Structure 1
Amino acid sequence: MQLDQAEIDRGPVVRVPVDALTVAGSPRLAGEDPEHVETLAASEEELPPIIVHRGTMRVVDGFHRLRAARLRGQETIAVRFFDGGEADAFVLAVRSNVTHGLPLSLADRKRAAERIIVWHAEWSDRRVASVTGIAPRTVAEIRRRLAGGAGPEGIRIGQDGRVRPIDGSAGRRVAGDLLTENPALSLRQVARVAGISPETVRDVRNRLALGLDPVPQRRRDRAAQNRTADAEGAQAVPAIGLNRAAGRGRRGPAPDRAALVARLKADPALRFTETGRNLLRLLTVHALPAEEWEALSGNVPPHCSAIVADLARQFAGIWNDFAVRVEADIAKIS
């Protein structure tokens, strides 16, 4: 299920007795922060509506606000209802507490990732990371040591809802065979059959022209290492939350955004045009290591976190639209 925060925010607001609500299942391992509760209670402003799972009357987002309302002596509180399943309600709770309010601790986010992986083993590491606010490589490490975290064999569902293979090597080989048999096929035609992107097909075509294997050596090595690590992780932990240090297998090298940006900076087609230099500047800003992103998200002042989160979502939407346009241009060329 795709959780649309904007749609929830547009839902009707109703007053609900505070005693009718439950706070079980909070993603915060240590519970609510008493100091933050007191700060909210001392404020003279009306507390923003909280989100409640209608089927269980469990608070999804707004644990601190509910505590503050009780501390104020309020009998009712403003509520927007969420009608999804309980697993979706937990995902929404995590996402909400990562993007606004008092941020979840790193330990909370890792624990939340464990639960989401067990419930949604088919989700890609990046999709789980986008919900929990931790790095995709950290999600991958958590997945490897969880029984039941592997998901459907060979596939993952990404943030856009599309199903993709975990290892693109098979798609590259299919593309290589197609291009060898019929070099006149367009990138888009081959991409559709092989289940990979047109740009990946372009890379396969270039490699074939140079007499190289369609699958780069580093990808073959990474696939072999990941298969070994997954096998070790599957045998290491019988259930979630037990023996957390066990089952951490070897892992192949993760994609390095900084290295990719550095390679683009060396491309004359980008370096020697104004638009190219503008693009490189933007990409450089976003190529921070995952640890720095986590440090940034963990230190946003609570009073401006909602604005920062909203801007981040807007910028993410702009980048997504940009990616769609770039891919559309690639398809036209092919």
Structure 2
Amino acid sequence: MDTVPIVLLRPADSPRLHGEDADHVQVLAESDATLPPILVHRGSMRIVDGMHRLRVAQLRGDTEVRVQYFDGTESEAFIRAVQLNVTHGLPLSLADREAAAARIVVSNDSWSDRSIARMTGLSAPTIGRIRARSLPDHAAEAQARIGRDGRIRPLNSVAGRRRAGELIGTEPGLSLRELARRAGISVGTARDVRNRLSRGEDPVPDRFLHGPATAPAVAGGLHGHALGAAAPPAHAMTGTYASDLDSLKSDPSLRLTSTGRFLLRWLSLHSLSQEKRDVLIKSLPPHSRARIAYMAKYCSRWWAEFAENLEEEKEYLEIPRTG
């Protein structure tokens, strides 16, 4: 947290269509409560959240305010402003939220309706209608979107259901979770496919066959590996690793949190090509190489433990709960 001169701050790219509320500023100014620091976009010094608090400071004659910095793009800063103003302070009006949603839909057209609904405090059907108005041509062409959990899901599950049916035929012992992962569908859809096949029915309901063009199944989760493919070897830092990193960077649950952006920066450090790594090695001073090698091995052990912790947490979360 820092204290900065007010003159250095730029007005917010606010989701409020009519700017600040003068009555709300007056109420805050008359309060004895210590106001939270203002959130500021570090790159532009534009206020992300806290214009009412800034007006209070100016009304009181202050020349400096406490700030916290937001690191991210200006587009991400706007989304963060919407999220914060939906959950605290003077709530955004319905018109404010709908206008913000339209802007987010245009700038992040691959995000799902539910994902944007959660950010803006609207319903998924409302986002769907806003999408249809804002992107009438693109909405018809989209084949998959990124959900609230960062997973890529097809808008039409026909191909995923077909794939699940094939897997059940060749590997009937697969768990529903594994079947869903390899077919790129939800566990509920996998269960429905298995039940339909057990009744001798087609895995795809008739109503799905008369909808939009079938979208290709998307590999389960955040990864772009071929269905059922093993993870790439540890030394392969290009190709699949690069595509997975791109997928993670488009995941709003990572991009819009400080811990997520911190992790993405770490992961990006490992995306060097073999050629660039060779250049880096040759540029290092000979007298430091042994120490750097030791530290690199230490880091590799840290990452291995980190991966094990993630896998243990995943296994814990997947244990069926009873009662």
Alignment TM-score > 0.5, same fold: yes
- Distance (Å, rounded) in 1 between the aligned partners of 2:106 and 2:140: 9
* Matched position secondary structure for 2:320: helix
- Distance (Å, rounded) in 2 between the aligned partners of 1:69 and 1:75: 8
TM-score, normalization by structure 1: 0.61
Aligned residues of 1:121 and 1:152 also touching (Cα < 8 A): no
* Residue identity matched to 2:11: V
Instruction: Provide the residue aligned with 1:80 in structure 2.
Output: 68
Select 1:172's aligned residue among 161, 177, 197: 161
Aligned residues of 1:156 and 1:163 also touching (Cα < 8 A): yes
* Matched position secondary structure for 2:134: coil
Instruction: Provide the residue aligned with 2:179 in structure 1.
Output: 190
Any idea what the Cα deviations from partners look like across 1:110-135, whole Å, max 9, x if unmatched?
A: 11011111111111111101110000
* Matched position secondary structure for 1:78: strand
Work out which structure has the larger RCO, using CA pairs closer than 8 Å and 6 or more positions apart in sequence: 1
Are 1:58 and 2:49 an aligned pair? no
Instruction: Provide the residue aligned with 2:15 in structure 1.
Output: 27
- Distance (Å, rounded) in 2 between the aligned partners of 1:131 and 1:188: 28
TM-score, normalization by structure 2: 0.63
* Residue identity matched to 1:207: R
Aligned residues of 1:121 and 1:151 also touching (Cα < 8 A): no
Are 1:139 and 2:127 an aligned pair? yes
Select 1:203's aligned residue among 192, 196, 209: 192
Within 5 A, what are the aligned runs for 1:142-291? Answer: 142-147=130-135, 150=139, 153-220=142-209, 223-224=211-212
- Distance (Å, rounded) in 2 between the aligned partners of 1:114 and 1:218: 30
* Matched position secondary structure for 2:76: helix
- Distance (Å, rounded) in 1 between the aligned partners of 2:315 and 2:138: 30
* Residue identity matched to 1:118: V
* Residue identity matched to 1:39: V
Q: How far 1:55 sits from its partner (Å)?
A: 1.1
Give structure 1 stretches of 5+ with no counterpart: 1-12, 228-322
Within 5 A, what are the aligned runs for 1:300-319? Answer: none
- Distance (Å, rounded) in 1 between the aligned partners of 2:121 and 2:140: 21
Are 1:104 and 2:92 an aligned pair? yes
Q: How far 1:211 sits from its partner (Å)?
A: 2.1
* Matched position secondary structure for 1:145: helix
Q: How far 1:329 sits from its partner (Å)?
A: 2.5
Which region of structure 1 is more displaced relative to structure 2, 145-154 or 63-72? 145-154
- Distance (Å, rounded) in 2 between the aligned partners of 1:211 and 1:324: 33
- Distance (Å, rounded) in 1 between the aligned partners of 2:51 and 2:138: 29
Q: How far 1:22 sits from its partner (Å)?
A: 1.7
Q: How far 1:158 sits from its partner (Å)?
A: 1.3
Q: How far 1:91 sits from its partner (Å)?
A: 0.5
Instruction: Provide the residue aligned with 2:77 in structure 1.
Output: 89
- Distance (Å, rounded) in 1 between the aligned partners of 2:88 and 2:120: 12
Q: How far 1:217 sits from its partner (Å)?
A: 3.6
Aligned residues of 1:124 and 1:159 also touching (Cα < 8 A): yes
- Alignment CA distance shift 1:210-1:325 (3 Å): farther
- Distance (Å, rounded) in 1 between the aligned partners of 2:95 and 2:174: 50
Select 1:40's aligned residue among 20, 24, 28: 28
* Matched position secondary structure for 2:65: strand
RMSD after superposition: 2.4
Are 1:124 and 2:112 an aligned pair? yes
- Distance (Å, rounded) in 2 between the aligned partners of 1:70 and 1:326: 49
Aligned residues of 1:122 and 1:152 also touching (Cα < 8 A): no
Which region of structure 1 is more displaced relative to structure 2, 178-187 or 154-163? 178-187
* Matched position secondary structure for 2:23: helix
- Distance (Å, rounded) in 2 between the aligned partners of 1:83 and 1:158: 23
Aligned residues of 2:114 and 2:124 also touching (Cα < 8 A): yes
* Residue identity matched to 2:169: T
- Alignment CA distance shift 1:116-1:324 (3 Å): farther
